[in-house]
Amino acid sequence: MKHREPPKFPCLEPEVDRISSLPGHVLDQILSQLSIRDAVRTSALSSKWRYKWAKIPQLVFDSNCVPNPSQDQTLIKNKLVNIVDHVLLLHTGPIHKFKLSHRDILGVSDIDRWILHLSRSSIKEFILEIWKGQRYKVPSSLFSCEHLIHLELFNCLLKPPLSFKGFRNLKSLDLQHITLTQHVFENLILSCPLLERLTLMNFDGFTHLNINATNLQFFDIGGVYDEVSFENTFQLTLISIGLYVNVKNDRNAVHGNSSKLLRFFANLPHIRRLEIQSLFLKYLAIGNIPSRLPRPCIDLNYLSIRINFNDMEENSAALCILRSSPNVQELEMLARPEEQASVGAISNFWEDDHWNSLFGQLRLVKIVGISGVKSELDFINFLLSNSPVLERMTVRPATNDGGFELLKELLRFRRASVRAEIIYLDP
C-alpha cells in the first residue's frame, strides 16, 4: 500500500521591507522631499522609522504644517508654535536649514528661543518670513551663526550687537521689507567677504545705497532710494534694478559734468545681464549723457530697459547704453505708456543718423507695452535697420486700439537682416 505524500504548499517567505533597507542617505533624501508634518508621521510606519525623521538636516515650517486655513488664527499660531517646539526638542541630528514662513505667524518671542537654539548648531541656511504685524527685531543670537551660507529675512528689524564681526561664510543674502541704518547695512555687506548673491527689496532707514562687495556676482534690488552706487564690484555680472528715485531732487543736485550714467557703469566691467526696471532709466538720465560709455560693456549679452519713449533724456540714455553694448544678443524694451501721454512727443530722435550703432550680435528683440506713437515706431525702425543678424522681433502693444495700423507700419519697415521675422502678439 502506497503512502500518500502530504500536499506541498508554496513556501511563504516574509515580505521584505525594501524601503527600510535602502541606504541611509537615500532615506534622508526621501524624507527631505516630504513636509515636516508628513516626515514626523513616518514614525508610525515601524520601529525602524520611529526616529528617522529626527535626523532630517532641513526643517521647513510653512503652511503645510497647519493645513486648515479656516481655523482661528490664534489657534493656528499656537499649533505651529507647538509643532516647532516638538520638532526641535526631539531632533537629534545637525540642522543645516531652517525655514519659518507662515502667514499667521507674528514676530513672537518663541522665535527668539528657536534662533537661540539654532545658533548652537552649525546652521547653514536660515529663512524667516514674518508676513504680519510690525517688524520683528532679530535677536543678537542670529549674528553668532558663523556657519551661515544663505540668509533670508522678510519684515524684520536688524540691529547687530557691537561684537558682530560679520558672516564670514555667507554667500547669499536676501533682505525684503527690512529696517536698518545705512551704517549697519554697509558694515553688513563689507563683513561678508564671500557674498555672491544679494537681493534687496523695500528698505526703511536710509536712502543712499552703496554696494561694496568684491565677490558679488548677482544683484537684485527694488524700492525707493535717492542714490545707488557700486564700489569694488568687478565680479558683478547679473543685475536687476528697479528703483523709484527722487529724480527732482537729483536734478537740482547735479552740477558741472556729473553723470549718473557714467558713475553707475564705472565699477561694472564684466556685466553680462542687465535689467533696468521701474523708473531707474530716468535716474540714469540725470546729468550729462555721453554718446558712448568710456569703456564698452563687451560681456553684456542680455539687456532689458523700461523706458518712456517720449522722454528725450531717457532716449539719450538708452541710446548710450545700446551703443556701448556691441555684443548684446537679446534685447527687451518695456514701454511706460502711462507716462507718455503726459510728456510732449519728441520728434526725429531715432530718425537721426545713428549709422555707427550697428548691433552685430543682436538676434532676439522683445518690445512690450507700446501704443504706436511715432517715437516708438522710429525706435523699431532703427533697430531693424541696424541689426544685420536679427532673427526675431516680438511686439506686444499695450492695448488693441490701432493694432491693425501698427501691424501695417511694422511690416513696412526695411530690415537689415534677411532672416528677421516680426511677430505681433495681442495684449
Q: What is the pLDDT of residues 367-406, one digit of tens each?
A: 999 988 889 999 999 999 999 999 999 999 998 887 788 8
Whole-angstrom distance, CA of residue 376 vs CA of residue 383: 11
Task: Report all structural domains of the chain as residue ranges with CATH numbers, in order of start.
Answer: 28-206 (3.80.10)
* 144 touches 126 (CB < 8 A): no
The predicted model gives 76-96 an average pLDDT of: 88
* 94 touches 118 (CB < 8 A): no
Q: 101-105, 108-112, 135-139, 221-225: which has the minimum mean pLDDT? A: 101-105
CA–CA distance from 24 to each of 20, 28, 48, 57, 110 (Å)?
9, 6, 12, 13, 33
Question: Which three cell numbers mark 310?
Answer: 517720449
- Over residues 50-61, the pLDDT tens digits come to 667 777 888 998
What integer pLDDT is reported at residue 41 of this predicted model?
72
Burial of 25 (0-12, 13-18, 19+ CB in 10 A): exposed
What pTM did the predictor assign? 0.87
Q: Which residues of 246-285 are buried (b: 16+ CB within 10 A; e: fewer)?
A: ebeebeeeeeeeebbbbebbbbbeebebbbbbbbbbbbbb
Q: Please determine, for residue 354, whether its predicted confidence score (pLDDT) is greater than 60.
A: no
Whole-angstrom distance, CA of residue 136 vs CA of residue 175: 13
Separation of first and last alpha carbons in the chain: 96
- Over residues 331-352, the pLDDT tens digits come to 999 998 766 555 556 667 887 6
CA-based diameter of the chain, in Å? 125
Q: How confident is the model at residue 145 (pLDDT cuts 50, 70, 90)?
A: very high
- Over residues 10-69, the pLDDT tens digits come to 555 555 556 666 666 677 677 767 777 777 777 666 666 766 777 788 899 888 777 666
Q: Nearest Cα to 424, choosing from 364, 385, 388, 408? A: 408
What integer pLDDT is reported at residue 87 of this predicted model?
87
CA–CA distance from 266 to each of 119, 296, 357 (Å)?
40, 10, 21
Whole-angstrom distance, CA of residue 91 vs CA of residue 77: 21
Q: 103-107, 139-143, 169-173, 321-325: which has the minimum mean pLDDT? A: 103-107
